[in-house]
Chains A and B, each alone.
Chain A
Amino acid sequence: MYEILKVEKLADNTLLMDVKAPRVAKYCDPGQFLIVRLDEKGERIPLTICDYDREAGTVTIVFQAVGTSTKKMLSLGVGDAFKDFVGPLGCAAEFVKEDVDNLKNKKFLFVAGGVGCAPVYPQVKWLHERGIQADVIVGARNADMLILEEEMQSVAGNLYIATDDGSAGHHGLVTDVIKKLVTVDGKAYDECIAIGPMIMMKFVALLTKELAIPTIVSMNSIMVDGTGMCGACRLTVGDEIKFACVDGPEFDGHLVDFDEAMKRQQMYKADETKAMLKLKENHVGGCCGGDQ
């Protein structure tokens, strides 16, 4: 069992938790993810790693409740435990392996959408700790849904906010902000790292392709084991089939087939599934409202 040591509400239906998991904390790096399982009947839920403390042996996770399993997770408190907690999985962010002196000459732009802030934060922090100041754009539906703003502020070079309703920062999309920074303010970026809803990553990638900024995206595909066994997370990158769990989760955003990935993302979505079930009149398991 993996004990929960801290629970913090970040926004409606969005919690941050510190979990005791020494094996995960010891060797995890920014860009990697982990899988949790709530109880005996639980799904394996992939979550991004938001932070880690190697000495304390703890890992910080952030999740938004969107389906049955993550909704159940909302009721967990300090002292409760996850049945299973496995990781780190996937590959670390590319820059972790690069020479720090090289990195210092690079200008990074991070774009985080919604709970995508959670996986972006450790990457910006990692760079910050090595004296590299990255610009960060954070997008959210509204001011209440903004998460980790202070934490991000403390590690980012410049922090730009955009909300759909204008209740905080720029009134509009993250892509508006990217366009303004590059074309109006004349900023130059060597690399963009965009993590958030697939639709956001798709449009960021389309724009940065125009602007000729190499772009990395992190694919939160449906997966079961997370170790390369099931192939549920396969996606098309360029003309190759890749598994998000072992080849990723980070890929060249200009090569990812987002339309296919978004269709695959819908496979178990509540509405879709119900419709499919009606169509097929034949199903088992907790399809409806599955987190995947």
Chain B
Amino acid sequence: MSVLKAIPVREQEGKVRATNFEEVCFGYNLEEAMAEAERCINCRNAKCIAGCPVAIDIPAFITEVKEGNIEAAYQTIAKSSALPAICGRVCPQETQCEAVCIRGIKGDSVNIGKLERFVADWALENDIQPEKAETLNGRKVAVVGSGPAGLTCAGDLAKMGYDVTVFEALHELGGVLVYGIPEFRLPKQGVVAKEIEKVSELGVKFETNVVIGKSITIDQLMEDEGFEAVFIGSGAGLPKFMGIPGENANGVFSANEYLTRSNLMRAINADSDTPLITGRKVAVVGGGNVAMDAARTALRLGAQTHIIYRRSEEELPARVEEVHHAKEEGIIFDVLTNPTEILVNDEGWVRGIRCVRMELGEPDDSGRRRPVVVEGSEFDIEVDTVIMSLGTSPNPLIASTTEGLEVNRWECIVASEEAGQTSKEGVFAGGDAVSGAATVILAMEAGRVAAKGIDEYLKKKV
């Protein structure tokens, strides 16, 4: 095989996986991983490291893989990333580390993501522990939210010797990794729970069912429970709706609701008590990763599923791999299409969705060409379920109950880029709660930055 080509990754065949919730991608085995690692030329000025938001020493870990030293490869990754088995699966490597890989100039980039996944999975299977703090300093730090930002921040602080407690509002740890991303992309028991177990082995304590801002406020945590610093990683969980007629009809769901029922509440399993309505014909409105997740879930539950997106395929914000997988599985893409009304039957249930065709005009503020309605292009699609996946914004619960915590006009918490410091002393923030909905790895980067910021702040405070 040409060295220009990456070692292919084995996956479940499209038609088969469209009927199950097993993971799509099987990943590399040792032999494949070592062969792919050989393609890395170990650049002296490795651009991939700068391409990684948490700056994993990529050439160093790949060099260990070449030699078959997987445990050493894992420890190299673990220095920079607390959740490699997750990142190996959901990071947009094609726009980060792999985008700047020298191999990519002529041929395929080194498949860094799949190599990371292989190493991390191997470490999970072989129960390899990350290195713990040598001495504990006993100083208490609270982390709000157990998603990627919170887990990373908590793990880093624990490694520095802090006494960290993570508070999670839901009944299960993981945040968006558990309620949002489906099983077929990110196995919950096999990967997420095990990665969290590793964070817990670093000494981090977890408390579920605590809604910060309701059960207890940030101020009370600091005044009554002795936490010297707090990291807010509460994510962006508030769903947006379009504001079109019929949106409150029965059978219209936010992607958050549909995915939370499916993933967190396991409504896809027959023995779950949580109900889930799956239509025969489902329209998912939106073009991001969450829209793909909702559509591919509906498809697996037996529905004919459409993605309705107002711009063209080129502008789809979802990862290329996700769009490709969705198409293989049989999702119908109605691009340059925008809903104007949800049609409702006499009993209050969805019977269709009215749309208009769009065409692309001049670029807008985001640099993407603005979609413009094609006059007289109105048409109806017959569907019985509509899933709105238009993005999410941060939950105002914490900001509205924390005195002196500044937010911007999008309800995002204002925090410094270099330390995650908010407008309130001792309070740090990062991840989607600060940036608005983004990616797992960017949240992890923010969690890491804030852990450093908290460490510096507490060292000075003494």
- What residues of chain A have their CB less than 8 Å away from a CB belonging to chain B? 23-24, 26-27, 37-38, 41-44, 68-69, 83-89, 224-225, 227-232, 234-236, 241, 246, 260, 263-264, 266-268, 273, 276, 280-287, 290, 292
Contact A228 B216 (CB under 8 A): no
* Contact present for B171 and A285 (CB under 8 Å): no
Distance A228 CA – B393 CA, assembled complex (angstroms): 11
CB atoms of B269 and A280 under 8 A apart: no
- State how many angstroms separate the Cβ of A135 from the closest Cβ of chain B: 31
In the complex, whether B253 has a CB less than 8 A from a CB of chain A is yes
In addition to A224-B260, A225-B237, A283-B278, 7 A-B residue pairs with Cβ atoms within 8 Å of each other are A27-B216, A38-B273, A44-B171, A87-B215, A228-B395, A231-B256, A246-B395
Evaluate contact between A84 and B171: CB separation under 8 angstroms.
Answer: yes
- The 8 Å CB contact of A86, one of B215, B271, B274, is B215
Asked if B303 is an interface residue, CB under 8 A from chain A, the answer is yes
Q: Within 8 Å of chain A (Cβ to Cβ): is B279?
A: yes
The answer on a CB contact under 8 Å between B254 and A231 is yes
Query: A236–B267 Cα gap in the complex (Å)?
Result: 27
Instruction: Determine whether the beta carbon of A23 is less than 8 Å from that of B397.
Output: no
Task: From B238, B248, B280, B348, give the contact of A228 (CB < 8 A).
Answer: B238
In the complex, residue of chain B having the shortest beta-carbon distance to the beta carbon of A283? B278
Q: Is B451 positioned at the interface, with any CB of A under 8 Å from its CB?
A: no
A286 and B260 contact, CB distance less than 8 A: no
Residue of A nearest to B169 (CB): A227
Q: Name the contact of B273 in the complex, choosing from A69, A228, A260, A284 (C-beta under 8 A).
A: A69
Q: How far is the CA of A219 from the CA of B239 in the complex (A)?
A: 20
Chain B residues near A69 (CB-CB < 8 A):
273
Q: In whole angstroms, what is the CA distance A89 to B272 when docked?
A: 24
CA distance A41 to B172 in the complex (A): 12
Binary flags per residue of B222-254, CB closer than 8 Å to A gives 1, else 0: 000000000000000111010100011010011
The 7 A-B residue pairs with the shortest CB-CB distance in the complex, in nearest-first order: A230-B257, A263-B348, A86-B209, A290-B275, A231-B254, A285-B267, A84-B171
The CA of A280 and the CA of B302, in the complex, are separated in Å by: 11
Which residues of A sit under 8 angstroms from B216, Cβ to Cβ? 23, 26-27
Q: How far is the CB of B407 from chain A (nearest CB, A)?
A: 15
Tell whether, in the assembled complex, residue A229 and residue B348 are in contact, meaning their CB atoms are under 8 Å apart. no
Pick the residue among A41, A225, A267, A283 that contacts B260 (CB under 8 A).
A225
Residues in B with CB closer than 8 Å to A68 are 273
* Chain A residue nearest to B261 in the complex (CB): A224
Contact A290-B260, Cβ < 8 Å, known A227-B395, A228-B397 = no
Report the minimum CB–CB distance from B291 to chain A (whole Å): 15
CA of A24 to CA of B247, assembled, Å: 34
Judge whether A285 and B270 touch: CB under 8 Å: yes
Residues of A within 8 A of B239 (CB): 229-231
Question: What's the least CB distance linking B296 to chain A, in Å?
Answer: 15
CB distance from A281 to the nearest CB of B (A): 7
Shortest Cβ distance from residue B237 to the other chain A in the assembled complex, whole angstroms: 4
Contacts of A23 in B (CB 8 A): 209-210, 215-216
Question: What is the bound-complex CA distance between A225 and B234, given in angstroms?
Answer: 14
Interface residue SS majority, chain B: loop
B46 at the interface (CB under 8 A from A): no
Are B266 and A292 neighbours in the complex by a CB distance under 8 Å?
Answer: no
Would you give the shortest CB distance from A6 to chain B, in whole angstroms? 21
Closest to A229 in B: B237
B214 in the interface, Cβ–Cβ < 8 Å? yes
Q: Within residues 373 to 429 of chain B, which ones have a CB less than 8 A from any CB in chain A?
A: 384, 395-397
List B contacts of A266 (CB < 8 A).
Answer: 250, 348
Instruction: Decide if A88 touches B248 in the complex (CB within 8 Å).
Output: no
Assembled-state Cα–Cα distance A41/B248 (Å)? 28
Interface residue B438 (Cβ < 8 Å from any Cβ of A): no
Complex CA gap A46/B183 in Å reads 26
Query: Are A236 and B248 touching (Cβ within 8 A)?
Result: yes
Chain A, residue nearest B347 (CB) = A263
Chain A residue nearest in CB terms to B250: A267
Q: How far is the CA of A282 from the CA of B282 in the complex (A)?
A: 12
Can you report 17 A-B residue pairs in the complex whose CB atoms are below 8 A from each other? A23-B209, A27-B220, A44-B171, A44-B274, A87-B214, A227-B170, A227-B214, A229-B179, A229-B237, A229-B256, A230-B256, A231-B256, A263-B348, A280-B384, A284-B276, A284-B301, A285-B268
Quick check: A43 and B257 within 8 Å, CB to CB? no
With CB as the reference atom, state the residue of chain A lying closest to B248.
A260
Max chain A Cβ within 10 angstroms of own Cβ: one of B170, B280, B302, B347: B170
Give the interface centre of B215, B256, B349 by most chain A CB atoms within 10 Å: B215
| Smallest CB gap from B249: residue in A | A263
Given contacts A227-B211, A228-B237, A285-B268, contact A42 B273 (CB under 8 A): yes
Q: When the two chains form the complex, which single residue of B238, B267, B274, B302 contacts A282, counting CB atoms closer than 8 Å?
A: B302
Residues of chain A within 8 A (CB-CB) of B254 are 230-232
Closest CB-CB distance, B219 to chain A, in whole Å? Answer: 12
Q: A231 — which chain B residues lie within 8 A by C-beta?
A: 239, 241, 253-254, 256-257
Q: Is the CB of B301 within 8 A of A282?
A: yes
* Complexed CA–CA distance, A232 and B215 (Å): 22
Task: Provide the bound-state CA to CA distance between A234 and B257, in Å.
Answer: 11
With beta carbons under 8 angstroms apart, the residue of A41, A229, A273, A292 that contacts B272 is A41
> Which A residues touch B238, using CB under 8 A?
228-229
Q: Does the CB pair B274–A285 fall under 8 Å?
A: yes
Interface 1/0 per residue, B316-345 and A, CB below 8 Å: 000000000000000000000000000000
Task: Report which of B210, B256, B273, B347 forms a contact with A290, defined as CB distance below 8 A.
Answer: B273
Contact among A235, A246, A264, A280 for B279, CB-based, below 8 A: A280
Measured in the bound complex, the distance between the Cα atoms of B274 and A266 in whole Å is 15
